[in-house]
Structure 1
Amino acid sequence: MTMPCLPTVIRACLFDLDGVLTRTAVVHAAAWKQTFDAFLERHDGPSFRPFDRVADYDAYVDGRPRADGVRTFLASRGIELPEGAADDPPDKDTVHGLGNRKNALVLAKIREEGVEAYPGSVRFCEVARAAGLRTAVVSSSANCRDVLIAAGIEHLFEVRIDGVVAAERKLPGKPHPDTFLEAARELDTAPDAAAVFEDALAGMDAGRAGHFGHVVGVDRVGQADALRRHGADVVVRDLAELLEEDAS
């Protein structure tokens, strides 16, 4: 029998979405680059310094709520924009306008190309559930449910705490631990009996800040050392590495 290789105290698994369960992190990075590069060229002129879809994405936007990602990246360039309103049009140079532009690009990409789940992650979730572990998705994305449905994996999770739920319940996003803590609460599981699965540095920080029992870093882009520095107990390239055959 195949079993999840986790500490024996773990009773629940809390999964990030983009980059952990689905191959959508690269779509988000490309959309952020297109959004920020167009803005920076308008703001700084033709000599602007482009958004780096690896370094800037990992440091400033990955795993964060959309508006927080806009603020954090622009602050790194010494730029401050008006907040605007949540329904600002995508062509408006406000925090929410840029965020909405990025979201429109992501949704268009998903509609055109679909969504693919990582086979190793699907297998791990199936094995975890068969072993009696509780499961939840914890994502900053407001499109989380649509992505889960498009990838055909919504049925694998009992609880979904995403950008929509976080806004309704006024939960601060990653790197704060509140969304993960809310998922554990809904699964009736203490944080020290829950494992966090994340590919984002902000998610690592959230997992450690919440004092969860186990924090798994998923390294899809070659940032294993950074994931460890931010609190990962173990780093894997794919969740299939955490499956083992029970010899009993």
Structure 2
Amino acid sequence: MQWDNYDAALFDLDGVLTPTAEVHMSAWARMFSDFLTARGVSQPYTEDDYFAHIDGRPRYEGVAAMLASRGIELPHGSPEDSPSVETVCGLGNRKNELFTEVLRSEGITAYAGSLALLDHLEQVGVKMAVVSSSKNAPEVLRAAGIADRFPVVVDGVVATERGLPGKPRPDTYTHAAEQLGVPSTRSVVLEDAVSGVQAGAAGDFGLVVGVDRGAGAESLRRHGAEVVVSDLAELIGDN
């Protein structure tokens, strides 16, 4: 990897920089397993559902996609809905409540290989941003002790405030590059989700890197990743 060909690295957060995907997956599984059981749905929630319907999507879109896979229709509701309300937003808020409980009680540690790449990029002068569908991104970055590494964070809150479509659209990544003052063609997108590499492929980015944390290398390539690694340390070049 020759980083002197690029001026910016645009990182997804969950599953790329930190293993928060594991916390998210646990929270989604608890929420949907309880919900489906209570409604008497015979097809249980599985890990495959996470990768097929939820991974990388904004939270409420993930809820809607998962419900649609079981033929369940609920009112969309409002982001202010209580976690106890059975609406798309209520279920999303219920999942977020579970996620926050686990994050605060157990904390989070960034992947060692990801930290190594961040150190390398800082040394060679590549600008860095985080682009996450999660509204918890700032809290996760603080918990992992890496918030000061990223002058630009485009998360679910920023996307909502600016009316930016979420992944698999490229808009949040494009906005991050603009905020760094770097052309998208000189920016690298680093993603572990199918919807994320689709977002990178849909934009005019210099390179789309897939990080295989469970989505599958072939699936990431098929949906837009030009390079696939299993650990970000593999991307440390000889600049």
- Match in the other structure for 1:40: 36
Moved runs in structure 1, 4+ residues, more than 6 A? none
CA distance in 2, matches of 1:163, 1:31: 18
- Pairwise CA distance, 1:89: 1.1
- 2:46 alignment partner AA: D
- Match in the other structure for 2:197: 204
- Counting only pairs closer than 5 Å after superposition, residues 214-233 of structure 1 correspond to structure 2 as 214-221=207-214, 223-233=216-226
- Match in the other structure for 2:126: 133
Identity %: 53
- 1:140 alignment partner AA: S
Aligned-pair Cα RMSD in Å: 1.3
- Match in the other structure for 1:66: 59
- The answer to whether the Cα contact below 8 Å between 2:56 and 2:167 also exists between their aligned partners in 1 is yes
Q: 1:164 aligns with which of 129, 133, 157?
A: 157
- The answer to whether the Cα contact below 8 Å between 2:192 and 2:215 also exists between their aligned partners in 1 is no
Structure 1 residue runs of 5 or longer lacking an equivalent are none
- The answer to whether the Cα contact below 8 Å between 1:216 and 1:232 also exists between their aligned partners in 2 is yes
CA distance in 2, matches of 1:244, 1:161: 26
- Match in the other structure for 1:90: 83
- Pairwise CA distance, 1:163: 0.8
TM-score (ref. length: structure 2): 0.96
Deviates more, 1:93-102 or 1:81-90: 81-90
Structure 2 residue runs of 5 or longer lacking an equivalent are none
- Pairwise CA distance, 1:245: 4.2
- Match in the other structure for 1:13: 9
- Match in the other structure for 1:52: 46
TM-score (ref. length: structure 1): 0.93
- Match in the other structure for 1:151: 144
How many aligned residue pairs are there? Answer: 239
CA 1:59–1:24: 2 relative to 1, 3 Å: same
- Pairwise CA distance, 1:6: 3.6
Q: Per the alignment, in what secondary structure is the counterpart of residue 79 of structure 2? A: coil
